[in-house]
Structure formats: C-alpha cells, structure tokens
Amino acid sequence: MSVPREERSLPTAGTMTAVVRDRYGVNALELRQIPRPELSADGVLVRVRAASVNRREWYSVATPLFARVFFGLRRPKERVPGVDFAGTVKAVGRDVTHVRPGDDVFGGRVGAFAEYVCVRNAVVREPANLTFEEAAAVPIAGLTALQGLRDKGAVRPGQRVLVNGTSGGVGTFAVQVAKALGADVTAVCSTRNVELARSAPIASSTTRVRTSRAATSATTSSSTSRGADGGRSRLAC
Ligand SMILES: NC(=O)c1ccc[n+]([C@@H]2O[C@H](COP(=O)([O-])OP(=O)(O)OC[C@H]3O[C@@H](n4cnc5c(N)ncnc54)[C@H](OP(=O)(O)O)[C@@H]3O)[C@@H](O)[C@H]2O)c1
C-alpha cells in the first residue's frame, strides 16, 4: 500500500530534546534543545521511544585514552551519544520503501539518546511481540553475534560451538544465533548467572545445565580470578 505524499514529507524543521556533551565524562552529559535531524531522500525519521546503553556508550562517554583515537582526541566527535534505538517512524524520504510512517521500528544510529534520529539503512520493522525497550536492546550486541557466527564463522548445522560469556550482551544473542543455525552449543558463564542464561528464549526449551563438579572444574581455569561464587558453569544447549 502506498503512503500518502503528505505523510511522506512531514516537516522535520524544529528542535528536539537530546542528551548532549561537549567533553568526555558522565558529568558532561546534559539535556539540551538541539535542531531536529533533517530528513534525507533515503532517510527514515524515527521518534525514539527507547534507547539502550551498550558497552559502546562506556567507550564513547567515559572514553579511556586509547578509545579517543576513535571517538575524538580532544573532545567527542559525537555530540549526542547512543546508538541502539526503537521507536515509531514519523516520516520517510522519497526513496524509502521498506518502512512507512506509523511503523514501529528498531535499529542503530549514532545520536540515539534524543527524541528523533534520521537513519538510512540500519532500521527494520519491530516484531509485534517485542516492547520498545526489548527491541532497543538488540541491535549492536545482536549484530555482533550474528556477524561473528553467521557471516565470519559460517556456522553450519551440527557443528559444535562454545560460547564463553553466555550471560553477557553478545553471549546472550550468540547462544540463540548458534542454536538457530543448527549448532550444538555449549554455553559457559558464572554459576550465579546460570538461570539468566537459561532464560534466553531459544535456549530455555532445550538447555540442560551441567553443574556437576567435573563440569564446573573443567571450565574454572579461565576464571580463577573471578567473582564471589568463584565457579563457572557449562550449559549444553
Ligand atoms: N556489547 C556489544 O554490543 C559488543 C559489540 C562488539 C564487541 N563487543 C565485545 O564483546 C565482548 C563481550 O561484550 P558484552 O557486551 O557481551 O560484555 P558483558 O555484557 O559485560 O558480558 C561479559 C561476559 O563475559 C563473561 N566474563 C567476564 N569476565 C570473564 C572471565 N574472566 N572469564 C570468562 N568469562 C568472563 C561474563 O560472564 P559471567 O559474568 O557470567 O562470569 C559475561 O557473560 C567484549 O570484549 C566487548 O568489547 C561487544
């Protein structure tokens, strides 16, 4: 169904509220009014409903010295931090056909800690069974797992995949992507996080937890300096 012309060309001039900074550090973050992004011919203007804080935001905001090579030596190149977002399409450029105004979408765009983002390719429709908050937690970590296992690793059905750090952002998706690709997955995490790892949708129906002494000690060598429980567990998914 085609979208009426007037909806496609919703005016984008005006201001919006955004998290802005001129220097590094959490204390430099301020809520300010800044110009709303311009809608380009190949762009999708999204009203952001949820944005997630990823590991990248730590690099981009706290920014240890080595990370300044990428994020700006003296001051942040990205005035508005944030990348992962979910929201509702307000307007689309004339060349855009895969989403339309009113669609709930999620994706990635630098500057997501703001009321609006204008994004080109990295935006897709949101599955109906996800909340905005859930969808906003997916993009970077999910893509990292997908690229690693599917694109670079070329994982095939029946192969065995070990996910070390399955309770983390990338690991949560890695287990599910590997399972979806048909792999035989063994997932490792701290014992305290076993229930969290088991709760991943695709893992929950098939996961057997191995918490025997032998299984735990088999994976303890990589974690001797780890947290309070001191043990790591291996889950066969
Ligand atoms: N998040 C992203 O979008 C993203 C994108 C690109 C690259 N990366 C990289 O991918 C890696 C994981 O990122 P993440 O965001 O998933 O991190 P995270 O959410 O902090 O998770 C870290 C995971 O590593 C495990 N872990 C921590 N210390 C460990 C140790 N000493 N031995 C074994 N396991 C240990 C943790 O398991 P337990 O707590 O259960 O022990 C947890 O499952 C990082 O190197 C990150 O830079 C992340």
* pLDDT tens per residue across span 77-131: 999 999 999 999 999 999 999 999 999 999 999 999 999 999 998 899 999 999 9
- Alpha carbon nearest to ligand 1 atom 47, residue: 55
| Ranges of CATH 3.90.180.10 domains, the chain | 5-135
- pLDDT score at 141: 96
For the domain spanning 5-135, the CATH number is 3.90.180.10
Beta carbon of 231 within 6 Å of any ligand 1 atom: no
Atom of ligand 1 nearest to the CA of 189: 40
**Alpha carbons 55 and 52: distance in angstroms, whole number:** 10
**Alpha carbons 105 and 95: distance in angstroms, whole number:** 18
For the stretch 178-212, pLDDT in tens is 999 999 999 899 989 888 888 876 654 444 444 43
- Alpha carbon nearest to ligand 1 atom 20, residue: 168
Has residue 217 got a pLDDT over 50?
no
Atom of ligand 1 nearest to the CA of 141: 3
> How many angstroms does the Cα of residue 20 sit away from the middle of ligand 1?
27
Beta carbon of 170 within 6 Å of any ligand 1 atom: yes
Q: How many residues does the chain have?
A: 237
For 116, residues 6+ apart whose C-beta sits below 8 A from its C-beta are 12, 16, 36, 37, 45, 46, 47, 48, 90
Has residue 67 got a pLDDT over 60?
yes
Q: Are 130 and 47 in contact (CB under 8 A)?
A: no
- pLDDT score at 101: 97
| Ranges of CATH 3.40.50.720 domains, the chain | 140-236
For 2, residues 6+ apart whose C-beta sits below 8 A from its C-beta are none
Q: Are 188 and 166 in contact (CB under 8 A)?
A: yes
Backbone φ and ψ for 148, nearest 5 degrees, come out as -65, -45
The CATH fold assigned to 140-236 is Rossmann fold (3.40.50)
- pLDDT score at 202: 65
Q: What pTM was estimated for this model as a whole?
A: 0.82
Band of pLDDT at residue 1, cut at 50, 70 and 90: very low
Beta carbon of 190 within 6 Å of any ligand 1 atom: yes
